[in-house]
Amino acid sequence: MSNPIAEQGSRRHWLRLVPLVIALVIGGFLFAGLNLRPKEIPSVLIGKAVPDFELPPLPGRPRGLTTADLKGEVSLVNVFASWCVSCRAEHPLFMKLQASGVVPVHGLNYKDEGSAAMGWLRRHGDPYDRVGADLKGRVGIDWGVYGVPETFLVSAEGRIVCKHIGPIMQRDLDDKLLPFIKALREGGTPQC
Amino acid sequence: MLRASIRFALLLLCIAGWSVSALSVAVDRPLEDPAQEARARAIHKQLRCLVCQNQSIEDSNAALARDLRVLVRDRILAGDTDQAAIRYIVERYGDWVLLKPPVKAGTIFLWAGPAVILMLAIVLIALWYRRRGGPAGRTVEPLSLDEQNRLKDLLGDGDRS
């Protein structure tokens, strides 16, 4: 007869690995979690038509922003406000975009006072084609806005293709938005 | 004290990350009809605040949470059912805003996960008991005379009794 203790040990051998396996599984999830960005809530409006809205212009600025204005050509819609600090960070990029004429940029001025917004645009430059003043933030809610800045890429058919949360950096422009704009103009359907 | 400092830290985080409206336009006033207000409050408790995450919009001080509270009240005044008012918000912000996520293909693991893990644990424990010949296991062969003698030697039977 073989040694019963040794035999029982080998039978239970695989059970000893259970804690290790559990630790590895939990570790795997935690490791994957390191690369998640829980602050960025995915938009449900991607691929859908832009919401129906009509916003008046800022006081002393000619053109407001409506749903119809977003049809006909590829455009960017930038949600901004004079009280928004990180809007300052991305602003020079929009100035450059406007100067280069690559793509029209429209502004959605979110919960801002008209005079404050106009002062801000005078101080830092006005890169926008049209700007709609969303005083109450209701149109922002229709767009699924939950912080400022946010930027939407809209197709020529008036469909929301992409949403960028937070300030846009040169890298986002080069790696994401500009290639997407190019693809859209060539009749492609890029996926965010 | 600790609570206050945690709140302060959260506030700083909100300001630092990326800004949330400073301008309050919407007024957060209860509805006149108490029954409608009760419905609105019940809906507020089910909706997750997008700014200070994992608080309901009922609990959150964020400006967007206040705007959404007002919006829910407006929907109810406009004659929406509770379901329709919730759907109105979900159409804009997605299932993410629901503190209780719906059962869907994408969330099935979330809902079934705990039950599956519990079953797995029960099966593993049952297997473990059987393998070690526990209460539910097979009967153990009695020791042979040789083995009994050896056991007595090992236990030092003579010394003890």
Per-residue pLDDT of chain B (161 residues; tens, 9 = 90+): 556 666 666 555 545 545 544 444 457 889 999 999 999 999 999 999 999 888 999 999 999 999 999 999 999 999 999 999 999 999 999 999 999 989 988 889 889 999 999 999 999 999 988 887 655 455 677 888 898 899 988 888 655 55
Chain A residues with CB under 8 Å of B50 CB are 41, 146-147
Look at B92 and A137 and tell me if their CB atoms are within 8 Å.
no
The answer to whether A96 and A118 are in contact (CB under 8 A) is no
The domains found in chain B, sorted by start residue, are 2-97 (1.10.8.640), 105-160 (no CATH)
With residue A64 as reference, give the H or E element that holds it: none
pLDDT digits (tens, 9 = 90+) for A130-153: 999 999 999 999 999 999 999 999
Q: Is B93 on the interface with A (CB under 8 A)?
A: yes
Chain A residues with CB under 8 Å of B140 CB are none
Residue B21 in tokens: 């409206």
Tell me, what's the pLDDT at B53?
Answer: 86
Tell me which chain B residue has its CA closest to the CA of residue A5. B132
Residues in chain B: 161
Chain A residues with CB under 8 Å of B95 CB are 44
* Among candidate residues A68, A74, A98, the one with its CA nearest the CA of residue A162: A74
Tell me, what's the pLDDT at B6?
Answer: 62
Would you give the DSSP letter of residue A51?
P
For chain A, list residues with pLDDT below 70.
1-12
C-alpha–C-alpha distance, residues B92 and A51, integer Å = 9
